[in-house]
Structure 1
């Protein structure tokens, strides 16, 4: 295993953690405990890879529809101005038009050269509700004037896929905002249980897989009394296991019960391809959430 964290970005976000979690976390433990935890994490990564490689769970994951890219695509050229960007971040939308009927219950996700997959569809009204959690016309907002059925291309665990989508017309924009209308497949039951007794935190989220597949960007957590996050990677023929740890452990009586978020990009020896991207601690695929709701404070 080798650390291949090519860059990291601190994020303006704090996550409260339990006292037990902090006691086990890297920020406030002893150096000896940290080294022991690193060895245990390396062993754990090998166990996770061995459990997943060639397993029914891995086959089920590869056969499913699991987005690892944005299911919402902004109008061509992006949003206009800071007010619209803030409205999108706040999910503040106003509906000024009619939304179409739900339409068919199912449709197909297609991959170039691969077998299509039939999945349930989300109606326009339900799709709109996931975009718009607030409706305050006294604050910066985006106005939806209508929607129609269409399709979009997004990145999945099986590569780029074409999926049915709702195309929402926004006031003041020539092209629509697109949102995938397909319900993702349920993740398979992991063939290994979560780890216990290993200091540190699970990975918070997958942010991005590079276009060439040779790097992945994740959000990791670390404590208030350490030097930040590091991510080790164990690559096998069937999986990419990521193990988050912390750097420069410091003993201090001033540690707060808070975990900090840090964006870390990890380089790989070869493209991810259809290998399963796994978290060593949970033994599960790293959940994709993107960076919506988090803002970078520096690099």
Structure 2
């Protein structure tokens, strides 16, 4: 369900790198290399642009998952065949899918507050995880019902409606969140350039935020002959800006594809409700599944 992206020039608008002053509470985070030179200036520019902006205010009022919106059964998966079936999204439906009992559902944050959003139907939720259809191994869904689950969002932990799909051979269901995310606001800053460079490259996606809130993993990218990616971290009071770069080059014949590499960084303090931003695009990083 998670795919790597290939290296290609991206049709993005030009932005001169801005050398702006530091934001309140700025600090270099542990576990990631500190941005330098124009890369640091870009990270600061992104943080400054979001600080107190209309986009930031809109972001804090929405529902934006930081966890994967698909949660696997306990102990998944028992066999290599089941692992292959899930990886290829190969499911068989052996039950009738129920109609949604309502048109809307509520996000309920653990610290208080809620938001009502359109409820995803069982068919749409099932189709989002069962896009396969080959003759290989498959997982059989024997029941489906609407329930709840918890996940981390940009506003902290929340309880949300979820479709619970019982899978043959597993004691607990596969859960698919039954709400789509809020529409993200237009970022208050343009991308850094028309195309990436080794000094600044967009991150592919957010992979995971650890439960302590201080460690998070992103999918960075590297070429076949690179030494690997580096991810710099710039923390402010209301944002965390990640700057991805590609380090070193090896000699010899190289292919042109980009490879995804998980990189974990550690923050000085928990992410909390601070906005997690990509320095190149100027956009927030959220759940890979998109809700």
TM-score (norm 2): 0.84
Which residue of structure 1 lines up, in the alignment, with residue 8 of structure 2? 17
Sort the Cα spacing of 1:38 and 1:221 in 2 relative to 1 into closer, same or farther, 3 A.
farther
Counterparts of 2:170 and 2:254, CA distance in 1:
48
Which residue of structure 1 lines up, in the alignment, with residue 236 of structure 2? 236
**Distance apart, 1:106 and its partner CA:** 0.6
What does residue range 158-177 of structure 1 map to in structure 2 within 5 Å?
Answer: 158-177=155-174
Q: Which runs of 4+ in 1 moved over 6 A?
A: none
Counterparts of 1:47 and 1:19, CA distance in 2:
21
Uncovered stretches (5+) of structure 2, i.e. residues with no partner: 13-34
Give the conservation status (yes or no) of the 8 Å contact 2:160–2:178: yes
Secondary structure of the structure 2 residue equivalent to 1:228: strand
Which residue of structure 2 lines up, in the alignment, with residue 96 of structure 1? 94
Q: Which is worse superposed, 72-81 or 270-279?
A: 72-81
Sort the Cα spacing of 1:196 and 1:152 in 2 relative to 1 into closer, same or farther, 3 A.
same
What does residue range 210-229 of structure 1 map to in structure 2 within 5 Å?
Answer: 210-229=210-229
Greater relative contact order (CA < 8 Å, ≥ 6 in sequence): 1
**Distance apart, 1:76 and its partner CA:** 2.3
What does residue range 94-133 of structure 1 map to in structure 2 within 5 Å?
Answer: 94-133=92-131
What does residue range 66-215 of structure 1 map to in structure 2 within 5 Å?
Answer: 66-136=64-134, 138-196=135-193, 199-200=197-198, 201-215=201-215
Secondary structure of the structure 1 residue equivalent to 2:109: coil
TM-score (norm 1): 0.82
Greater helix fraction, Structure 1 or Structure 2: 1
Give the conservation status (yes or no) of the 8 Å contact 2:214–2:270: yes
Counterparts of 1:153 and 1:14, CA distance in 2:
29
The count of residues paired between Structure 1 and Structure 2 equals 263
Q: Which is worse superposed, 86-95 or 171-180?
A: 171-180
Counterparts of 1:49 and 1:246, CA distance in 2:
22
